[in-house]
Amino acid sequence: MMYAEIVVNVPIRRTFASRLAEPPVEEMEPWPPESAPGNGAAENRAASTLQTFHYSLPPQLEGQVRPGHLVWAPFGAREVQGFVLRLSDHAPVATREVLRLARPDPVLTPVQLELATWMADYYVAAPAEAIKLFLPPGLLEKEGQGAGVRAKRELQVEWIGPSNLPDLGAGEPDGGQDNWAELARSTPGSRTLAYVLAHADSRPSVDEVRDACALKSPSAVNTLVEKGVLRQDAEGRLSLAQSREESRAILASMQGLDRYQPLIAALRAAGGPLWKSDLAAQTDGGAGLSLLRDLAAVNLISLEERTRFRDPLAGRTYAHTKAPTLTDEQTAVWQAIRARGFGSRLRAGARAHFLIHGVTGSGKTEIYLHAIGETLAQGRQAIVLVPEIALTPQTVARFAGRFPGRVTVIHSGLSTGERYDVWRKVREGEFDVVVGPRSALFAPLPRLGLIVIDEEHEPSYKQNAEEWGSHTVFYDARRVAERLADLSGSVLILGSATPSLEAYQSAQRGRLTLVQMPRRLVGHGTQEGTVYAELPPVEIVDMRQELRADNRSVFSRSLQAELHATLDAGEQAILFLNRRGTNTFVMCRDCGAVARCTRCDSPLTYHERAGTLICHHCNRKYPIPTLCPECNSKRIKYFGTGTQRIEELIGEIAPRARLMRWDADTTTGKGSHEQILERFSNHEADILVGTQMIAKGLDLPLVTLVGVIAADVGLFLPDFRSGERTFQLLTQVAGRAGRSARGGRVVIQTYSPEHYVIQAAAAHDYAGFYAREIEYRRELGYPPLQRMAKLVYWEKNAEKAQAMAERMAQQVQAQITALGLRPESVTIVGPVPAYFARYRGYYRWQILLSGDDPSAIVRSLTIPFGWRVDIDPVSVL
Ligand code: ADP
Ligand code: ZN
Ligand code: ZN
């Protein structure tokens, strides 16, 4: 007898004393409840073990079921889906039988299954949730007896008729042989016209026509004459009243053949098969099934249902590019990577993990491309992670252009069908390179050999535990990629101009091999040889001095002067503001009350164009207050400056400059990022005002000035990473200037010019920043010097929230004792209300654990519903 250990896709709430084949029916309760918000809470240790159950395999499934298979199995009174974790020849308990396979092939590769199991353990999450990360959405939905989303089948149409098909109406309708004739509707009128057309030169008599066309009466002839289609001369002989061409068209319409004309024209022009929906689009919808069936019936076209790939890159063409010769600096870096990473197929256990620390524009992407080329040459495949694909169309184009037909993308903008198709095709080995955000890590490439993480420092690589929604594994793609590289024997390359402290520290400790690319490249392979650009000079402007000099504008005198100089030179500028909306908050001048979101308590932002106040936390909109709700005063004031306001203010100082705004408000539509980017790079605007988004890897040669309006925003948030974030942001934004031989300048406006973060960013001094920052983390026991786990509780009732948080803190203390840990080996902060203490009507409390291995404590806890477990949190806000 064979048994399968199965992770059932059912959230289970209860704790069971022992591992059962399945829980008694009355113990089962779906978990979490549909409406619950804290459903992010990783189910506890109980779930991690209890979600696996033993089932026996019926004889007909033996030998068919493999680890990674999705199956249907009985569970209490229900049938549920489950993932086969492993097979064994014994089971610890009595078992029921697996019912059937839900899909013919395993849905996870062995490496993926191992990775999922590791993730569930590392992130203290339910195994089913970890496994589901590897599957396209919709796959598990119930559809009949199988699994949900399917391949798309569509009719494909191809012309198979003669290439010299005579024109419509040209033939003898009663000839019988030709395909047209079979389709043509035969009426007395159509027969008459056809006959006269064919015998126009001999001017047939009415009798002759009646005879030849089997007309019972002359009325058809008379009608055609009356309508001016035929002419009858004095002797009663018939001829065409219209030109031959027009007569043919009239005949075609009388025969009902004109309906086919656009279809046939499109099909013949295509010179190959066309999908029915594409044909319909080309013919203004005139590709109805009955028309197609008619044509197929007379063997003019073939109609066949085929699987259609819903291609996320459909309709895009990428110019094929060749690898340039590397610069000396790139050659050195590439050789270092190649020697360690690609010498031979990586032996299991060998590590080839690299960190490329290279300034923006130093040529890192070219190294990634070389690494991919080498990987493909060895018959293996690559995953390339980029922070936010909508913001990096240029990057996608570079990969797709270098390896035509072998690259596909995964991102959140894809439809369920597209995602499923990409997953399926990747699994079948039809693509060798997958580009996408963190979830692209889960692409089922069968021969993975390389993982690249571009802009490694980006916070978006971590699944955000603060997010609304039902993500239950708050994983960090960088950590998971490391594990995946080890499991699959792949090379791992991280790249950044501003590496995360974690990555840089790993490099310092030798876990990653550090390679440096300190110089920005502007030209290579030209007559001038390799040309490097200086990093742009950065000027720090002390905004306190501006006030003292009586400049109350948000633009310092220096920034104004630079802006004018840039515009005069016909160049472009980027103004960066870490904030959107017109103003940041709305306050009563008399009592100081601030307009806040009733669900989140966070101050509301005034959006002038929308005419509303918006909560940037939950997006709820509020009317603009005319009276203070606290004291009824009419003296309401708007404070702060957002992107919209900046736009207006520029209008005042540089009225002729063409402006463009790039922030979350202007980029809601599909493809809007790409459009803004393209329009700006086509110089359709002189100044781009934007938030974080513009800090991403854009390559805009005409941009010679970057202005940071207020560098301090974010610097003083009570989060141990606020300094690191600000440094990264300032460095990245500054990196947008001077990407060409024109050079560039950066102006950073700040109220804290002496702060080490600002100073280091202005000096492009990563090492200096790192030295200060790591020291600060060491002093306070923050990551990466200690590990951290965050427990967050969500609850609508304020008292309950606090009580539950306190109860959890007691449990934590009890477990520390139970595990025999020294109390001083763990630091516990909390329970305290989270920084964003209210969110969408929920109160949020948190407990932070830091130490050498806080996860061990978390694993030992019983975690009630409503809690979220965040291992290695990227923020403690
Ligand atoms: P990064 O990824 O570090 O920002 P890129 O790889 O995008 O840098 O390189 C910056 C610019 O230099 C790009 O325009 C790129 O096309 C160009 N470039 C990079 N390497 C070479 C090379 N070896 N020869 C010519 N141009 C290069
Ligand atoms: Zn008031
Ligand atoms: Zn809100």
Tell me the pLDDT band of 13, cut-offs 50, 70 and 90.
very low
Instruction: Work out which ligand 1 atom sits closest to the CA atom of 360.
Output: 4
Q: Relative to the alpha carbon of 636, which ligand is closest?
A: 2
58 or 315, greater pLDDT: 58
Long-range contacts of 599-607 (CB under 8 A, 24+ apart): 599/838, 599/839, 599/840, 599/841, 600/836, 600/838, 600/839, 600/840, 601/836, 601/837, 601/838, 602/836, 602/838, 605/580, 605/581, 605/642, 606/581, 606/582, 606/638, 606/642, 607/581, 607/582, 607/644, 607/665
* CB 480, CB 119: distance < 8 Å: yes
C-alpha closest to that of 383 among 321, 330, 426: 426
395 lines ligand 1 (CB under 6 A): no
CA of 627 to the centre of ligand 2 (A): 8
Q: Relative to the alpha carbon of 597, which ligand is closest?
A: 3
User: For residue 404, is pLDDT > 70?
Assistant: yes
Average pLDDT score, the chain:
81
Residue of minimum CA distance from atom 23 in ligand 1: 326
CA 833 to chain centre: 32
Q: Give the separation between CA 684 and CA 667, rounded to whole angstroms.
A: 17
The arithmetic mean of pLDDT across residues 124-138, rounded, is 87
User: For residue 348, is pLDDT > 80?
Assistant: no
Beta-bridge mates of residue 308 = 152
Beta-bridge mates of residue 109 = none
Q: Give the separation between CA 70 and CA 47, rounded to whole angstroms.
A: 19
Contacts of 562 (CB under 8 A, 6+ apart): 573, 705, 707, 745, 747
Neighbours of 202 (CB within 10 A): 11
User: For residue 27, is pLDDT > 50?
Assistant: no
Backbone angles phi, psi at 589, to 5 degrees: -70, -25
- Residue 173: the pLDDT is 43
The arithmetic mean of pLDDT across residues 546-559, rounded, is 85
Q: Give the separation between CA 676 and CA 686, rounded to whole angstroms.
A: 13
475 or 717, greater pLDDT: 475
Tell me the pLDDT band of 35, cut-offs 50, 70 and 90.
very low
CA of 630 to the centre of ligand 2 (A): 5
Give the model confidence (pLDDT) of 160-185 as tens digits: 877 666 555 556 444 334 666 777 88
Maximum distance among all alpha carbons in the chain?
A: 122
- Residue 664: the pLDDT is 62
CA of 596 to the centre of ligand 3 (A): 8
Give the model confidence (pLDDT) of 264-303 as tens digits: 888 888 888 888 888 888 877 667 888 888 888 888 888 8
* CB 789, CB 797: distance < 8 Å: no
Contacts of 838 (CB under 8 A, 6+ apart): 599, 600, 601, 602, 844
- Residue 43: the pLDDT is 38
Neighbours of 835 (CB within 10 A): 14
User: For residue 854, is pLDDT > 80?
Assistant: yes
Write the single-letter amino acid at 126. Answer: A
- Residue 317: the pLDDT is 77
The DSSP string of 289-331 is HHHHHHHHHTTSEEEEEEEE---TTTT------PPPPPPHHHH
Q: Give the separation between CA 290 and CA 260, rounded to whole angstroms.
A: 11
Give the model confidence (pLDDT) of 692-702 as tens digits: 666 665 667 78
361 lines ligand 1 (CB under 6 A): yes
- Residue 380: the pLDDT is 93
Q: Per residue, what are the HEC states of 171-227? A: CCHHHCCCHHHHHCCCCHHHHHHHHHHHCHHHCCEHHHHHHHHCCCCCHHHHHHHHC
CA of 835 to the centre of ligand 3 (A): 14
Angle at 676 between CA 675 and CA 677, to 5 degrees: 90
Contacts of 545 (CB under 8 A, 6+ apart): none
The arithmetic mean of pLDDT across residues 341-347, rounded, is 60
CA of 466 to the centre of ligand 3 (A): 13
Long-range contacts of 279-286 (CB under 8 A, 24+ apart): 279/157, 286/259, 286/262
Q: Give the separation between CA 27 and CA 43, rounded to whole angstroms.
A: 16
The arithmetic mean of pLDDT across residues 659-682, rounded, is 73
CA 309 to chain centre: 19
Residue 384, helix vs strand vs coil = strand
- Residue 294: the pLDDT is 85
Residue of minimum CA distance from atom 9 in ligand 1: 363
841 lines ligand 1 (CB under 6 A): no
CA of 326 to the centre of ligand 1 (A): 9
Instruction: Work out which ligand 1 atom sits closest to the CA atom of 325.
Output: 23
C-alpha closest to that of 452 among 413, 398, 405, 404: 398
Give the model confidence (pLDDT) of 355-401 as tens digits: 999 988 889 999 999 999 999 999 999 999 998 766 567 778 889 99
Angle at 876 between CA 482 and CA 479, to 5 degrees: 5
- Residue 344: the pLDDT is 54
The two structure tokens encoding residue 478: 């960088």
Tell me the pLDDT band of 501, cut-offs 50, 70 and 90.
very high
Please give the span between the terminal C-alpha atoms of the chain, in angstroms, as a whole number.
Answer: 53
Residue of minimum CA distance from atom 19 in ligand 1: 363
Neighbours of 17 (CB within 10 A): 6
Percentage of residues of the chain with pLDDT beyond 70: 84
Q: Give the separation between CA 412 and CA 460, rounded to whole angstroms.
A: 13
- Residue 36: the pLDDT is 34
Give the model confidence (pLDDT) of 591-624 as tens digits: 767 777 787 676 777 776 677 887 766 677 888 8
Residue that the structure tokens 């009985």 belong to: 74
- Residue 871: the pLDDT is 92
358 lines ligand 1 (CB under 6 A): yes
The answer to whether the predicted template modeling score (pTM) of the entire model surpasses 0.85 is no
The two structure tokens encoding residue 677: 């980017």
Give the model confidence (pLDDT) of 202-233 as tens digits: 888 888 888 888 888 888 888 888 888 888 88
* CB 696, CB 677: distance < 8 Å: no
CB-count burial class (<10 Å; 0-12, 13-18, 19+) for 435: buried
CA of 607 to the centre of ligand 3 (A): 15
Residue of minimum CA distance from atom 15 in ligand 1: 363
Q: Relative to the alpha carbon of 497, which ligand is closest?
A: 1
The arithmetic mean of pLDDT across residues 772-797, rounded, is 89
Instruction: Work out which ligand 1 atom sits closest to the CA atom of 398.
Output: 16
CA of 617 to the centre of ligand 2 (A): 24
Q: Give the separation between CA 293 and CA 278, rounded to whole angstroms.
A: 17
